[in-house]
Chains A and B, each alone.
Chain A
Amino acid sequence: MVLRRDWWKILAVLLVGYTIVAGLLGTVPRLPILNESIRNLYFHVTMWFVMLFLFTISVSSSIAYLSTEKPLWDIRAELAVKVGMVTATLGILTGMIWANFTWGKPWVNDPKLNGAAVSFLGYAAYLILRQSIDDSEKKARIAAVYNIFAFVMMIVFIQILPRLTDSLHPGSGGNPAFSSYDLDKNMRIVFYPAVIGWFLIGYWIYTLQVRMRLLQNKLNQSQWND
């Protein structure tokens, strides 16, 4: 690893390391029901933010694919979704553990939770759609168009609809999540670095996936040439 090129990977490790230390040791508001579990914010919410970040990379890549038709953009779009699905799964699992503690049940029929589940399935459909088309150009084009649709639906389901109705989940029912009530000064100085750190870790894994796919494609090509 070269420092000039990979400095952001070091930054990622430092920021997430800081999150673990400051997240467990830092001051948090004393709130009923939540108690110490409020510290989950640094880990549960960041997983969803990484998913949003990677899905944004994915939808931008799909748009870039549709305008340039370069296969690299299709590879980027696909792998960003795959890594984003992993962090979404972690987000759902950590959310269920947290909900079991604060709401008494791992799953409640809440607009935010159901919206997240629907978007998750929407992206699962994206990956299945890719598998079902053999022709690679056709696959890339149809998948790119569907990806734009899936992204818009995801924003509607997890960012817009829960705010229009009542929801148990913070950041819903009309309240933005970052009001002074939800996130105080002491928590911000951990939460913001945590978000950047996890963004970079997620991006790192995503770039590794892309590099491995390109290698794989090169090897397959040389096999055909021999």
Chain B
Amino acid sequence: MERLITFRALMAAVFLLITPSALLFAQDSEIPMADTFRAEGKIYVVVAVMLVIFAGLISYLIYVDRKVGKLERDVNNEEK
């Protein structure tokens, strides 16, 4: 008898654990995401803007890198 009760308690626990996640799964498509925004293709505008800014920052980094390289060559030539 006691075993049966523990088994029932266990089953109840399993159901309690499964139900909320099942509910969440059912609501999946109702979770708001930027679907319309994407469908209209506006996300590409954001991607383009971010890539331009990234390209600008990287250009600066390359510029500094080359400048430092040039200075290193100058200083090393002076030493010789």
Query: Residues on A close to B: CB < 8 A?
Result: 1, 6, 9, 13, 16-17, 20-21, 24-25, 30-32, 35-36, 201, 204-205, 208, 211-212, 215, 218-219, 222
Contact = CB atoms under 8 A, between A and B. Distances in A.
B77 to A, nearest CB: 12
B34 interface: yes
B68 interface: yes
Given A9-B65, A208-B65, A211-B68, 9 more contacts: A9-B62, A16-B54, A17-B51, A24-B46, A24-B47, A25-B47, A30-B31, A35-B33, A215-B68
Nearest to A205: B61
Interface of B: 24, 27-29, 31-34, 43, 46-47, 50-51, 54, 58, 61-62, 64-66, 68-69, 71-72, 75, 78
B62 A21 contact: no
A30 B33 contact: yes
Nearest to B47: A24
Given A1-B66, A32-B24, A218-B75, A20 B31 contact: no
A192 to B, nearest CB: 19
Nearest to A19: B54
A74 B52 CA distance: 37
B28 A30 contact: yes
A20 B72 contact: no
Given A13-B58, A16-B54, A30-B29, A36 B72 contact: no
Contacts of A205: 61
A215 B67 CA distance: 12
B61 A204 contact: yes
23 contacts: A1-B65, A1-B66, A13-B58, A16-B54, A20-B50, A20-B54, A21-B47, A24-B46, A25-B43, A30-B29, A30-B31, A32-B24, A35-B32, A36-B34, A204-B61, A205-B61, A208-B68, A211-B68, A212-B68, A215-B68, A215-B75, A219-B75, A222-B78
Nearest to B76: A218
A151 to B, nearest CB: 27
A6 B62 CA distance: 11
Question: Nearest 8 A-B pairs (CB), nearest first?
Answer: A30-B31, A20-B50, A211-B68, A36-B34, A24-B47, A218-B75, A13-B58, A32-B31
B25 to A, nearest CB: 10
